[in-house]
Amino acid sequence: DYRLKYPQDRRYHELDSEARIWWVYLDEATAFDNDMVGELGDSLDILLIFAGLFSAVITSFVAQTSQSLSTNYSLVSSSYLGEITAILRAGVNGTAVSQVPATDTSFVPAADDLWVNGLWFTSLAITLSVALFAVLAKQWLRQYMSIITGTPRERAFIRQFRFDGLQTWRVQAIIGVLPVLLHISLVLFLIGLVIFLASL
């Protein structure tokens, strides 16, 4: 009970800088903040671990499949070698070199490759964005819980100012959206995986 914990204020001094109301407010606010920040911090820790592991998985897939978006120079080299061989044979056989078909080196990636890489790169970008916002949110929470010095009234005002800022910037809503973004990223990755496996 706060009446037993803190002495009663003198009459007309109930709002002084050391008044009991500020101590009670700070006690209640500290308990509330510890619960809120602890819950949000645990959620962010889980998100960061999942985002880190998931981005590593996506990166390993993207590193392999992104090669299909550019020209395969070993195939181009073998095509040119085949053309050179055909030209040499034409010269030996007395055939006109102009009749040897030219090597077509134009490259157009397959539609499946475009879809798979597009989905996986989007998934990776979303996952990394979630990790960035999770780190920013953890920094916000750490700053929110940093030690406040001064009289109890000053500490109460600063704490309320910080809490109002947390509400204004909708930090809790931002943290609540991050798992949804990770789910979207996971769905995009799985769609890309289905397309990738179907094209094998």
Q: Kindly write down the DSSP assignment for every residue of 158-191, as one continuous string.
A: HHHHHHHHHHHTTHHHHHHHHHHHHHHHHHHHHH
| Percent of the chain whose predicted confidence (pLDDT) is above 70 | 100
Final residue belonging to a domain, choices 80, 106, 132: 106
How big is the chain by its Cα radius of gyration, in Å? Answer: 32
Looking at residue 12, what is its pLDDT? Answer: 81
Looking at residue 75, what is its pLDDT? Answer: 78
Return the closest-CA partner of residue 124 out of 56, 196, 48.
56
CA distance 85 to 78: 10
Using the predicted structure, report yes or no on whether residue 51 has a pLDDT greater than 80.
yes
For residues 37 and 145, is the Cβ–Cβ distance under 8 A? yes
3-state helix, strand, coil in the chain (%, to 5): 80, 0, 20
Looking at residue 73, what is its pLDDT? Answer: 74
Looking at residue 97, what is its pLDDT? Answer: 81
Residues 89 and 35 occupy one common structural domain:
no
Residues 90 and 158 occupy one common structural domain:
no
Looking at residue 90, what is its pLDDT? Answer: 85
Residues 58 and 132 occupy one common structural domain:
yes
Looking at residue 86, what is its pLDDT? Answer: 87
Looking at residue 107, what is its pLDDT? Answer: 82
Residues 79 and 173 occupy one common structural domain:
no
Residues 194 and 147 occupy one common structural domain:
yes
Q: Is residue 147 part of a domain?
A: yes
Looking at residue 3, what is its pLDDT? Answer: 78
CA distance 190 to 179: 16
For residue 20, give the 3-state DSSP assignment.
helix
Residues 116 and 86 occupy one common structural domain:
no
88-123 pLDDT, tens digit each: 888 888 888 888 888 887 888 899 999 999 999 999
Residues 46 and 123 occupy one common structural domain:
yes
Residues 132 and 55 occupy one common structural domain:
yes
Residues 77 and 50 occupy one common structural domain:
no
Residue 186 belongs to domain spanning: 2-7+17-70+110-198
Compute the mean pLDDT over every residue in the chain, rounded to the nearest whole number: 92
CA distance 156 to 160: 6
Compute φ and ψ for 99, nearest 5 degrees: -85, -10
Using the predicted structure, report yes or no on whether residue 1 has a pLDDT greater than 80.
no
**DSSP codes of every residue in 104-148:** -------HHHHHHHHHHHHHHHHHHHHHHHHHHHHHHHHHHTS--
Angle at 84 between CA 82 and CA 87, to 5 degrees: 110
Residues 118 and 146 occupy one common structural domain:
yes
Residues 97 and 184 occupy one common structural domain:
no
Using the predicted structure, report yes or no on whether residue 67 has a pLDDT greater than 80.
yes
Residues 145 and 191 occupy one common structural domain:
yes
Looking at residue 25, what is its pLDDT? Answer: 94
- What confidence category does residue 27 fall into, taking pLDDT thresholds of 50, 70 and 90? very high
| Residue 53, both tokens | 């592991």
Q: Is residue 12 part of a domain?
A: no
* Average pLDDT rounded to a whole number, residues 170-181: 96
Angle at 123 between CA 140 and CA 65, to 5 degrees: 140
Looking at residue 7, what is its pLDDT? Answer: 81
- Structural domain tally of the chain? 2
Q: Is residue 183 part of a domain?
A: yes
pTM: 0.81
